[in-house]
């Protein structure tokens, strides 16, 4: 009986996330690709061949890959020291810094693009890369830092005592332990920059296109589904290849570690060098992440008659008599409710998947599959929904239920990638010891894995919540007049002329920033039972 129950549990661990993935991703995307590549019922891969032989399309594909690789490399290099600082050192305002770095992640690209232009950036490759680092800094800090804060500092201390240099101790002890988290984070950053849309359009200028912008153009503007499908096949193949490589690399480096409570691993900077290191990183964060945010903040108060709350006021009454108007309070509530639901979906699906990934061999496939949506064009998924989920009871096309589902889908890979490294590194001897002492499997889970996973789950939840708050690509297609979120309101305001509209958009962006910071701060504050 218990064995049957265990088997049911094992199957459910894989089946639930896989079913979700199949229904809300694979099926719609498959449908739209089929419409493009097999319009008459028989498959014609000719367009795919054309993409690969057409010089300009090949150029687009190549540019997509290398700008993403460059952006990912720089993001990791710049954010890794930052992850170390916020996870290992105690300093005044640490909680605030940890919450604040997530803010860039939720801001609509149109808004950030305008802030970068105001800072003097002109459309160029450099502007694209800097903006990508700005957006994705938090990905590395949250995922890697979240794991780092549980690593036992005594291990590298021991290496230092044994005569290893600081660098050598990092390379031989810390880096191998961090590797799964680092690879997981880098993979997500790569997918994000690979499918980056607004940044490329605004900061790349009209001469630079990527697979993502080209798929959008071919699908939404030209309705050329054949070329769009061919480009999507190239995109999906590239993304899948990257995920397989990363998955292999992660699998090879499984190290059981002694994990500690985050509270035991952080300490004050002791030496001058350490203080300099912490200080430098905080300055980098302030300049890189802070400057564009300050531009938006300043603009939201810069009314014609001098600094004031005029734009915030305008947010409440501008267009108040229009059917598409939502009072700011309602937009905030919509944002919070959808983000809350999306977080529940993401943590539920992602949590189950994480356990399956950490335990089973088939897990690696699941891990890669769930990350795939990050690497596939939003317009492909969106248009896929339209043609695939069109029959009752699955006709969710005009239901507001799709909003948290879409947002949750985007957040699932973060949840998986935050929890899996932690789960994998729990020393199996701990479990075995508990079993030997007579604990049931459920009890082992509750007492050994549970508390650590709960902490990682909270980190993941905070991030999932932030992602959902800022999600725009899917939400703008799905939102109805009464279900508009803050990013949708910002987008609509920016679509209309006049300084009040622009100022009100800046005010709404500032509210979104504050809301994100507060939400992440709050979630980070939730304490789980102390581990060990």
Partner 1 sequence: MKRLAVLAVTLTMLAAAATPARAASAPPVTIRLVTHDSFAVSKSVLAAFTRQTGIKVEVLASGDAGAALNQVILTKNSPIGDAFYGLDNTFLSRALGAGIFQPYQSTQLASVPATYQLDAQHRVTPIDHGDVCINYDKTWFSSHQVPVPTSLDDLTKPAYKGHLVVENPATSSPGLAFVMATIARYGERGWRAYWAKLRANGVQVVDGWDQAYNGSFTAGGGNGDIPLVVSYASSPPAAVVNANPQPAQSPIGTMLSSCFRQIEFVGVLKTTTHVAAARKLVDFMLSQRFQADMPLQMYVFPVRDGTPLPAVFTKFAQTTSNPLSIPAAQIGHNRDRWINEWTATVLR
Residue 54 burial by Cβ neighbours in a 10 Å radius (0-12, 13-18, 19+): middle
- Please choose, from the candidates 344, 177, 335, 193, the residue with its C-alpha nearest in 3D space to the C-alpha of residue 254: 177
**Cβ neighbours, 10 Å, residue 67:** 22
Q: Assess 294 for contact with partner 1 (CB under 8 A).
A: no
Q: Assess 2 for contact with partner 1 (CB under 8 A).
A: no
By rule CB under 8 A, what count of residues binds partner 1? 62
Q: Helix, strand or coil for residue 179?
A: helix
Residue 92 burial by Cβ neighbours in a 10 Å radius (0-12, 13-18, 19+): exposed
Shortest Å, Cβ 68 to partner 1: 20
**Cβ neighbours, 10 Å, residue 402:** 20
Which residues 6+ apart lie within 8 Å of 269 measured at CB? 89, 91, 275, 277, 278
- Please choose, from the candidates 203, 205, 201, the residue with its C-alpha nearest in 3D space to the C-alpha of residue 215: 201
> Site for partner 1 (CB under 8 A): which residue of 23, 118, 238, 528?
118
Pattern 415-454, partner 1, x by CB under 8 A: ----------------------------------------
> Site for partner 1 (CB under 8 A): which residue of 495, 518, 525, 530?
495
Pattern 219-238, partner 1, x by CB under 8 A: xxxxx---------------
Contact 367, 245 (CB under 8 A): no
Pattern 341-360, partner 1, x by CB under 8 A: x-------------------
Alpha helices in 89-197 (DSSP H): 94-100, 103-106, 109-118, 125-148, 153-161, 166-169, 175-194
Footprint (CB under 8 A) of partner 1, residues 147-186: none
Q: Assess 503 for contact with partner 1 (CB under 8 A).
A: yes
Q: Which stretch binds partner 1 (CB under 8 A): 81-89, 216-224, 236-244, 409-417?
A: 216-224
Residue 209 burial by Cβ neighbours in a 10 Å radius (0-12, 13-18, 19+): buried
Pattern 475-494, partner 1, x by CB under 8 A: -xx-xxx---------xx-x
Contact 89, 269 (CB under 8 A): yes
Q: Which is nearer to partner 1, 425 or 501 (CB)?
A: 501
> Site for partner 1 (CB under 8 A): which residue of 73, 74, 117, 249?
117
Tell me which residues touch partner 1 (CB under 8 A).
Answer: 110, 113-114, 117-118, 201-202, 205-207, 217, 219-223, 299, 303-305, 310, 314, 318-319, 321-325, 341, 383, 386-387, 390-393, 395, 397-401, 404, 476-477, 479-481, 491-492, 494-503, 505
């Amino acid at each position: 009986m218990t064995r049957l129950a265990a088997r049911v549990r094992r199957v459910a661990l894989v089946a639930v996330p896989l079913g979700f993935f199949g229904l809300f991703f694979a099926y719609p995307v498959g449908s739209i690709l089929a419409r493009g590549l097999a319009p008459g019922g028989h498959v014609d891969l000719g367009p795919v061949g054309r993409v690969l032989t057409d010089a300009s399309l090949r150029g687009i594909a190549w540019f997509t890959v290398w700008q993403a690789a460059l952006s990912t490399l720089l993001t990791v290099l710049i954010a890794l020291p930052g992850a170390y600082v916020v996870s290992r050192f105690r300093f005044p305002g640490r909680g605030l810094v940890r919450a604040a770095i997530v803010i860039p992640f939720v801001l609509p690209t149109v808004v950030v693009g305008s802030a970068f232009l105001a800072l003097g950036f002109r459309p160029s490759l450099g502007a694209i890369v800097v903006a990508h680092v700005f957006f994705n800094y938090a990905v590395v800090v949250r995922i890697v830092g979240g794991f780092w804060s549980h690593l036992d500092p005594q291990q590298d201390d021991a290496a230092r005592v044994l005569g290893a240099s600081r660098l050598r101790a990092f390379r031989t002890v810390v880096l191998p332990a961090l590797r799964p988290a680092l690879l997981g984070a880098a993979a997500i950053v790569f997918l994000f920059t690979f499918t980056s849309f607004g940044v490329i359009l605004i900061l790349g200028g009209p001469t630079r296109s990527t697979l993502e912008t080209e798929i959008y153009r071919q699908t939404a503007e030209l309705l050329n589904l054949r070329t769009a499908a061919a480009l999507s096949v190239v995109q999906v193949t590239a993304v899948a290849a990257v995920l397989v490589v990363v998955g292999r690399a992660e699998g090879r480096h499984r190290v059981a570690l002694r994990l500690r409570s985050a509270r035991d691993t952080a300490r004050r900077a002791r030496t001058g060098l350490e203080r300099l290191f912490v200080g430098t990183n905080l300055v980098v964060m302030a300049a890189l992440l802070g400057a564009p945010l300050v531009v938006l903040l300043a603009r939201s108060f810069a009314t014609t008659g001098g600094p004031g709350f005029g734009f915030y006021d305008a947010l409440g009454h501008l267009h108040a008599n229009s059917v598409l108007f939502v009072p700011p309070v309602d937009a905030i509530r919509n944002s919070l409710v959808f983000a809350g639901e999306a977080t529940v979906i993401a943590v539920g699906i992602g949590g189950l998947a994480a356990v399956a990934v950490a335990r089973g061999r088939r897990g690696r496939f699941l891990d890669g599959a769930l990350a795939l949506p990050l690497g596939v064009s939003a317009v492909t998924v969106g248009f896929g929904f339209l043609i695939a989920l069109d029959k009752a009871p699955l006709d969710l096309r005009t239901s507001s239920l799709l909003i948290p589902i879409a947002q949750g889908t985007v957040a699932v890979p973060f949840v998986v990638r935050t929890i899996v490294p932690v789960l994998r590194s729990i020393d199996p001897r701990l479990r075995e010891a508990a079993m030997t002492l007579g604990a049931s499997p459920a009890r082992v889970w509750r007492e050994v894995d549970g508390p650590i996973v709960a902490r990682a789950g909270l980190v993941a939840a905070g991030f999932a919540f932030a992602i959902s708050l800022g999600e725009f690509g899917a939400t703008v297609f799905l939102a109805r007049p009464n279900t508009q979120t803050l990013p949708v309101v910002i987008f609509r305001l920016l679509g209309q002329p006049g300084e009040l509209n622009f100022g009100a958009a800046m005010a709404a962006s500032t509210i979104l920033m504050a809301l994100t910071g507060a939400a992440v701060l709050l979630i980070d504050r939730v304490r789980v039972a102390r581990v060990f």
